[in-house]
Amino acid sequence: MPALHIKNTEEFKKEILEHKWIALVDFRAEWCGPCRMLGPIIEQLADKNPNVKVAKVNVDENQQLAGTFQVSSIPVVFVIKNGQVVDKIVGANPPTVYQEKITEHSK
């Protein structure tokens, strides 16, 4: 299943915060080189983890949401479990880093 592209705060609330398990949310921007490098990794994680809701949020289009999560550098990926942030990963990292966080918080 491909990653969701969250377009606004209401969609974020419905798809991510009300989700009753783990969500992985990539805050990014189109002009950001590391964000573009991370994009395919996020898509792979979405395919590999069908029980995890994986989403992307464009900070330029969703400044209010980025402010709510105090996003000060991108890319930044939040691990959200049952509507609560349980982890944050800053920068573009290898796929194993994100997979380990998914596994860790799935327990």
How does residue 107 score in pLDDT terms, banded at 50, 70 and 90? confident
Task: Work out the burial of residue 87: count CB atoms within 10 Å of its CB; fewer than 13 is exposed, 13-18 middle, 19 or more buried.
Answer: middle
Q: Give yes or no: 35 in active site.
A: yes
The whole-model pTM stands at: 0.93
Contact predicate 53/13, CB 8 Å: no
φ/ψ bin of 19: left (φ > 0), alpha (ψ from -120 to 50), beta (otherwise): beta
- Asked whether the predicted pLDDT for residue 1 surpasses 80, the reply is no
Containing 83, the helix (H) or strand (E) segment is none
pLDDT one-digit tens code per residue, 11-43: 999 999 998 899 999 999 999 999 999 999 999
Mean pLDDT of the region 55-63: 96
- In order of their start, the domains of the chain are 4-105 (3.40.30.10)
> Among the options 35, 41, 76, 92, which is catalytic?
35
- Within 49-80, residue ranges assigned H as helices are 63-68
- Cα-Cα end-to-end distance for the chain: 22
The alpha carbon of 102 is separated from its chain's Cα centroid by a whole number of angstroms, namely 11
How does residue 104 score in pLDDT terms, banded at 50, 70 and 90? very high
> Among the options 23, 25, 32, 79, which is catalytic?
32
How does residue 2 score in pLDDT terms, banded at 50, 70 and 90? confident
pLDDT one-digit tens code per residue, 67-100: 999 999 999 999 999 999 999 999 999 999 999 9
